[in-house]
Amino acid sequence: MVKVAVVGATGAVGREMLKTLSERNFPAKQVVALASEQSSGKQVSFGEEKLLTIQPLTHYDFHGTDIALFSAGSQRSKEFAPKAAAAGCYVVDNSSYFRMHQDVTLIVPEVNGNNLQSTQSKIIANPNCVAIPLVMVLKALESLASIERAVVSTYQSVSGKGRKAMDELFRQTKAVMVGDAIAKEEFPKQIAFNLFPHIDTFREDGITFEEIGAILSRRYGVPVRFENEALKKCKIRASFSGTEPLDHVASVLSAIRNGSFEQITDGTIVFTGEGCN
């Protein structure tokens, strides 16, 4: 039995982490909910009946904690994840901060989970929510034949920018429906009933950091923010070195863990992660 800390427990992802730990009966002797000092003393749900009282991250001692799940943004991960690791805690970080660090292992269990056996770092990064299903599909397809080219377009939900962005989508949607003026705070453009090609911060070369986050296999696409609250989507057009029957491709995709697929008559295959609509 292990002691687990969830950092960012009041956020959308942090709450989902708590929900998943409870639903899967994770063998934890104790689960600690951590967040900002402003949230200290508040309570969050852990399962259907249990409530956890929020403790302030800034005062928490990670000694004696076995696993810390971080989802409190890059700045919090930058400051507190190394402290947790130094205290002997394994950190699984959901932010973008460590994804490009050479000394931190970037893990998608279904793709390179074996790397956990050899990593020296106590900090483990996970890719963003688009890169994970993308590399799962590409790895499965690459077992058929070498992929010579993959063109990827991603469509990312407002939830990726956090709770404030989701609230802005709700307010703007309401304003559009009743004819009120549209207020923009979290996004440079109106997001309600809209999409635009701008995720994260643009670098000098015109690529955004969100695009860099999707590079895992040296293939990346153009991410587009769209109005859906919580659904992520990516479209992949792959070219192979050889010819593969569509039913063979479909059978390979059907074997991917935590997913399902649907074959469309025009040759398109739709792969859906578990729990998605």
50, 74, 56: which is closest to 10 by C-alpha? 56
Q: How high is the pLDDT of residue 277?
A: 33
- CA–CA separation, 55 and 271 (whole Å): 39
| Residue 165 confidence class, pLDDT cut points 50, 70, 90 | confident
List C-alpha distances in Å: 271 to 127, 142, 214.
19, 16, 18
Q: How high is the pLDDT of residue 111?
A: 84
In this predicted structure, the answer to whether residue 226 has a pLDDT above a threshold of 50 is: no
Residue written as token pair 């895992």: 216
What single DSSP character describes residue 264? -
List, in order of start, the domains of the chain with CATH numbers: 2-125 (3.40.50.720), 131-273 (3.30.360.10)
Decide: 181 and 175 in contact? Cβ < 8 Å: yes
- CA dihedral sign of residues 186, 188, 193, 199: negative
| Residue 224 confidence class, pLDDT cut points 50, 70, 90 | very low
Exposed/middle/buried for residue 199 (C-beta within 10 Å: 0-12, 13-18, 19+): buried
Decide: 104 and 121 in contact? Cβ < 8 Å: yes
| Residue 225 confidence class, pLDDT cut points 50, 70, 90 | very low
Average pLDDT, the chain: 81
Encoded tokens for 165: 């962005």
> H/E element holding 32?
strand 28-35
Decide: 41 and 53 in contact? Cβ < 8 Å: yes
pLDDT tens-digit map of 88-134: 999 999 988 998 788 898 888 888 888 888 888 999 998 877 778 88
What is the maximum alpha-carbon separation in the chain?
A: 60
When mean pLDDT is compared over 25-34, 110-119, 253-262, the highest value belongs to: 25-34
When mean pLDDT is compared over 113-117, 218-222, 247-251, 273-277, the highest value belongs to: 113-117
Q: How high is the pLDDT of residue 83?
A: 98
> What letter represents residue 81's amino acid?
A
